[in-house]
Amino acid sequence: MRSRWGYPLLLLSLIVVLALTIAALTQPARAQGARCGGFVDVLADLDRSFGEKVVWIGERGTAGHLVITAKVDGSTWTALLVRGEVACLAAAGTGWTARPAGENI
């Protein structure tokens, strides 16, 4: 015989896990030693250290913005999660290629 609470508890558990996952993905990674600083200072440091300029900005609703900087030749790029005046490093790499909107890879 199945418990009458089996399905409601399973559904509640799935909702809680989903909510925690969404919360974790929309916040900068603080516990993983995220490198954060003032947005203007971080941009100046990326320009000075790598010659990177802002090439793309996307809104993340109330979670702030995602900002991509890249060197003109595309040799380096950086992704920043920006909330208010604070920017945190999300990812960085090499080989940035800008594509026109709507163009498939």
Domain boundaries, the chain: 6-93
The candidate with the shortest Cα–Cα distance to 94, out of 67, 70, 76, 73, is 76
**Spatial distance between the Cα atoms of 26 and 62, rounded to a whole number of angstroms:** 10
In this predicted structure, what is the pLDDT of residue 101?
73
Global confidence as pTM: 0.64
Name the DSSP letter for residue 61: G
Per-residue pLDDT band for 8 (boundaries 50, 70, 90) equals low
In this predicted structure, what is the pLDDT of residue 32?
43
Q: How far is CA 5 from CA 1, 16, 18, 81, in A?
A: 12, 16, 20, 41
Those residues with Cβ within 8 angstroms of residue 56's Cβ, 6 or more apart along the chain or in another chain:
67, 68, 98
61-81 pLDDT per residue, tens = 888 899 999 999 989 999 999
Per-residue pLDDT band for 4 (boundaries 50, 70, 90) equals low
Unique residue bearing structure tokens 């800008």:
98
Q: What percent of the chain has pLDDT over 70?
A: 67
The candidate with the shortest Cα–Cα distance to 8, out of 16, 21, 22, is 16
In this predicted structure, what is the pLDDT of residue 16?
56
